[in-house]
Every structure is written in C-alpha cells, then in structure tokens.
C-alpha cells in the first residue's frame, strides 16, 4: 500500500507490505516519511512477524507477535529504536497474555502516535473463564492483569495490578463486572492536573474499585454503566460513565456517552467531563459514514471527525476523513482548525 499526500510544504508517504506464512502467520515491512507535528524531517522503517495457529493441541489458539522499528529524525541521534513481543493464548477456559515493549528516548514517529518514550514496559493478564450454561449464567470470568513501566535505568514510573474477583455473563447477553486495581505513579516534577490544581513531585500508591454493567450489544437499544471509586494521588476520586446505543433502523445508528470524574484534593475539588456523540450511516457492509463529536471541559475544545469508507474489495478501499475542532473564546466557540484527507488502500497479492 502506498499513500502520498501533500500537507503544506511537506510530503507524506506510508508504505506497507506483508506476506502470508501458512494460513494464519504473516511477516511484514512498513516505512513512513514525513512529520505532521513540525518541519523536522522524520522517517520510520520496521519489520513485524506474527506466528499464529488455531490448531495448537488440536483446537487451541496461540500467537506470538514481534516487531522492531527504527526512526531517523533530524537532530536526534541514537536511542531511536522501538521493539516489542507479545505472546497470547486466547482460549475459552484460559485466556493468557504476556508482552514486553521498549521505546528509546529519541524514537519519534512523524506520522502516527507514541504516548511515551524512554520506557521499558512489561504487561500481562490471566483470566479463567469457565462456561456454566445453567441458571441463566452463560460464563464466569476471574483473574488479574499487570502493567509495569520503568525508564532505561530501571527506575519505576508507572505500575498497576488489576484483580477481577468475578465477572458474570448472563444468557441474556448482559455482563456485570467488579474489579479492584492497585496503582503506582512517580513524578520527578510537579504535575498540573487541572486548572490551578497541582500534584507535587513524589511517589504515589492507591487503590481503585470499578463496577460495570454491559447490556447485549445486538439489541436495538443497548448501553453501558460504569462506576468507580477510591483514592487518587493525594485525594479521592469518583467516576461515572454512561453510554447508550440506538439502532434506529437500517442504516442509521446513534450513540452517546458521558464520563464524569469528581476529584477531591487537599487544595479543593474539581470535576472533569467528557461528552461524545456518534451518528453513523451503514448503507451496506462496503459503504459506511461515521461521524464523531466530542467535548471535554479540560481543554474546552469541541472536535468533529467524519469518515467515509468504501471497500471496493477485501483489502482495497477508499477513505475520506474530515477533522475539525472548535476552540472556546469567551462565551462562544470559534473554528480553530480543519483538514480533509483522502486515502487509497490497494493490496497486490503475489
């Protein structure tokens, strides 16, 4: 696949090639050139390998994913690699995953997104999922997960351990889950979390609780309700998230969600809110239009993304993506920025 665009005075290109190894394994190459963030030139090249089978011990799924990437960026030299490996055993009774990722200090993607650099991250999960199929209960879930992040000198930065004492999937399709999480975070300098509220540089450990209820997604009206409570750095936090999906009629579907956090710190209280609304047209399995509108009171920016997708054949498609944002000024909103992108994806099978 090749995607060449002109963005101001900069050219962008993305190339991706993959080759099937057997029925479920692949090896691939990827390269990008360009920088959407600034004028500094950037290129990334890498290789990935997926080894997978669904016939391990006759009927079990197992996979191993490997990747390595190198970036070349003006004025940044050395420590520009990223690599990772993930082993997964996603099966009915036992669902297991273990992975490790390293991202160098100078690894930069001009096209794409990297949330953190200069880190080593190890993560994993183990869930036991017996099927009952009796007394109105289809399946039970219990287990745990962890995520451990350090810098390259092995100094801990973020750590979380999650426990799911029970999660119940009913025959009707509803699912109820309770989870308990132990979190650790470290700040080398004071962190401005919201407005004038500051989290002082220090090490922090706290517990979080989460209750969630999901309804059957195949219904015309479905939704999710989630409530969290517990400590939060130097204070406490309550979290409430509500979402609803309404399949009005083919091809129209609307959905909306509200997430609110009530934070109490020694210096006072504040609330954060995230609102999202989606309006989608599914004309056919091959032609779709998705619209997403979002607002949060932290940035006070309203965003709108619209995406038209036309799948010509499996692996070949045409995309139009519109992105725009509106910035709050005084008591009104003004158009901050907008962009329309066109993408063609074409696969050549050898």
pLDDT digits (tens, 9 = 90+) for 255-286: 999 999 999 999 899 999 999 999 999 888 89
User: For 39-73, b where at least 16 C-beta lie within 10 A, e where not — what string?
Assistant: eeebbbebebebbbeeeeeeeebbbebebebebbb
Give the closest residue to 272 by CA, choosing from 205, 194, 349: 194
- Percent of the chain with pLDDT strictly greater than 90: 62
Got the DSSP string for 6-22? Answer: EETTEEEEEEEEEEEET
Residue 331 scores a pLDDT above 90: no
Instruction: Identify the pLDDT of residue 151.
Output: 92
Residue 18 scores a pLDDT above 90: no
pLDDT, tens only, 231-251: 999 999 999 999 999 998 878
Average confidence (pLDDT) over 105-127: 90
Instruction: Identify the pLDDT of residue 340.
Output: 84
pLDDT, tens only, 150-186: 999 998 899 999 999 999 999 999 999 999 999 999 8
pLDDT, tens only, 70-100: 999 888 788 899 999 999 999 989 999 999 9
State the pLDDT confidence band at 350, using cuts at 50, 70 and 90.
Answer: low
The domain defined by 39-345 folds into: Maltoporin; Chain A (2.40.170)
Instruction: Identify the pLDDT of residue 299.
Output: 82
Give the closest residue to 332 by CA, choosing from 309, 303, 308, 300: 300
Domain segments of the chain: what residues? Answer: 39-345
Task: Give pTM, 2 decimals.
Answer: 0.79
């Amino acid at each position: 696949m090749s995607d060449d665009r002109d963005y101001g005075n900069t050219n962008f290109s993305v190339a991706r090639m993959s080759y099937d190894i057997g029925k479920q394994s692949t090896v691939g190459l990827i390269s990008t050139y360009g920088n959407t963030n600034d004028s500094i030139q950037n290129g990334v090249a890498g290789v990935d390998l997926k080894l997978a089978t669904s016939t391990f011990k006759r009927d079990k799924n197992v996979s191993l994913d490997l990747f390595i990437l190198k970036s070349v960026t003006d004025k940044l030299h050395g420590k520009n690699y990223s690599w990772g490996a993930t082993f997964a055993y996603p099966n009915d009774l036992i669902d297991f995953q273990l992975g490790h990722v390293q991202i160098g200090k100078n690894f930069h993607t001009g096209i794409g997104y990297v949330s953190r650099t200069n880190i080593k991250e190890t993560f994993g999960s183990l869930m036991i999922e017996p099927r009952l199929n009796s007394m109105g209960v289809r399946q039970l879930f219990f287990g745990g997960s962890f995520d451990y992040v350090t810098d390259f000198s092995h100094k801990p930065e973020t750590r979380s351990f999650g426990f799911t004492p029970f999660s119940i999937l009913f025959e009707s399709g509803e699912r109820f889950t309770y989870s308990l999480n132990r979190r650790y975070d470290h700040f080398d300098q004071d962190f401005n979390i919201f407005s004038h509220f500051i989290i002082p540089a220090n090490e922090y450990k706290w517990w979080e609780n989460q209750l969630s209820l999901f309804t059957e997604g195949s219904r015309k009206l479905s939704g999710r309700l989630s409530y969290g409570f517990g400590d939060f750095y130097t204070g406490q936090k309550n979290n409430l998230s509500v979402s609803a999906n309404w399949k009005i009629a083919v091809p129209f579907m609307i959905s909306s969600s509200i997430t609110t956090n009530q934070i109490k710190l020694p210096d006072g209280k504040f609330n954060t809110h995230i609102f999202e609304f989606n309006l989608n047209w599914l004309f056919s399995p091959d032609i779709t239009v998705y619209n997403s509108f979002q607002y949060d009171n932290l940035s006070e920016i309203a965003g709108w993304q619209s995406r038209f997708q036309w799948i010509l054949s499996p692996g070949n498609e045409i995309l139009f993506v519109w992105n725009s944002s509106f910035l709050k000024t005084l008591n009104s909103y003004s158009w901050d920025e907008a962009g329309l992108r066109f993408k063609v994806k074409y696969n050549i099978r050898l």
